[in-house]
Amino acid sequence: MCAALDYHFSINAQGEDDAQPRDFDAELKALGDKARDLKSRKVQQLGELVIATGADALGADELAGALIVIAETKEAGKREAWAKRGAAFFQGRSRRIASAADHNVRGAPTQPDSAQSASGRKGAA
pLDDT per residue as tens, the chain (125 positions): 555 444 455 555 565 556 788 899 999 999 999 999 999 999 999 999 999 999 999 999 999 999 999 999 999 999 999 999 999 999 987 767 666 666 655 555 444 443 343 344 344 43
pLDDT at residue number 21: 87
* Main-chain phi, psi angles of 11, to 5 degrees: -110, 125
**Residue type at 83?**
A
CA atoms within 13 A on the CB side of 108: 10
Cα angle at 77 between 75 and 81, to 5 degrees?
A: 120
Say what the pTM is. 0.55
